[in-house]
């Protein structure tokens, strides 16, 4: 499956962005999906995940109350709504498809990755 992330950009602190991850090649409706981010010089970190049906979500502590993950299986697309953005949210954001385990925050369980979209939050 090919994943294409989009929606990144430059935003002021306190602003909002919505990232999209469009899948092609085959359906991701039976995959748990996740968002990760990587700031310059740092490891790629878990941000959010959603199970295949959309009924279960998991968020990193650092984004709880500000970010929301959702999916539209009919459109083969996953979203990350980011509100209340902070300069420390600046990173390249990647979407990924899981191999199917419920260890949503474990980067090693993700088997397909998009190319990333840059989010820059100015103070």
Digit-coded pLDDT (tens) for 62-108: 999 999 999 999 999 999 999 999 999 999 999 999 988 889 999 99
Question: Looking at residue 79, what is its pLDDT?
Answer: 98
pLDDT of res. 35: 98
Nearest CA among 20, 35, 24, 17 for reference residue 96: 35
Position 102 scores a pLDDT of 83
Q: Is the dihedral of CA 22, 75, 20, 33 positive or negative?
A: negative
Q: What is the mean pLDDT of residues 14-24?
A: 97
Q: What does the pLDDT read at residue 68?
A: 98
**Residue 100 has what pLDDT?**
80
Confidence of residue 26 (pLDDT cuts 50, 70, 90): confident
pLDDT digit string (tens) for 30-45?
999 999 999 999 999 9
Which 3 state secondary structure label does DSSP give 63? helix
Give the pLDDT confidence score for residue 40 in this predicted structure. Answer: 93
Give the other-Cβ count within 10 Å of 113's Cβ.
17
């Amino acid at each position: 499956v090919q994943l294409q992330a989009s929606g990144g950009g430059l935003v002021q602190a306190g602003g909002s962005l919505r990232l999209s991850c469009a899948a092609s090649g085959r359906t991701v409706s039976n995959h748990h999906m996740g968002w990760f981010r990587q700031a310059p010089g740092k490891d790629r970190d878990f941000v959010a995940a959603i199970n295949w049906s959309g009924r279960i979500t998991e968020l990193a502590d650092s984004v709880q109350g500000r970010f929301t993950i959702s999916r539209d299986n009919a459109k083969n697309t996953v979203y990350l709504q980011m509100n209340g953005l902070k300069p420390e949210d600046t990173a390249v954001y990647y979407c990924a498809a899981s191999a199917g385990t419920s260890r949503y925050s474990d980067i090693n369980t993700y088997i397909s990755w998009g190319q990333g979209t840059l989010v820059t939050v100015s103070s």
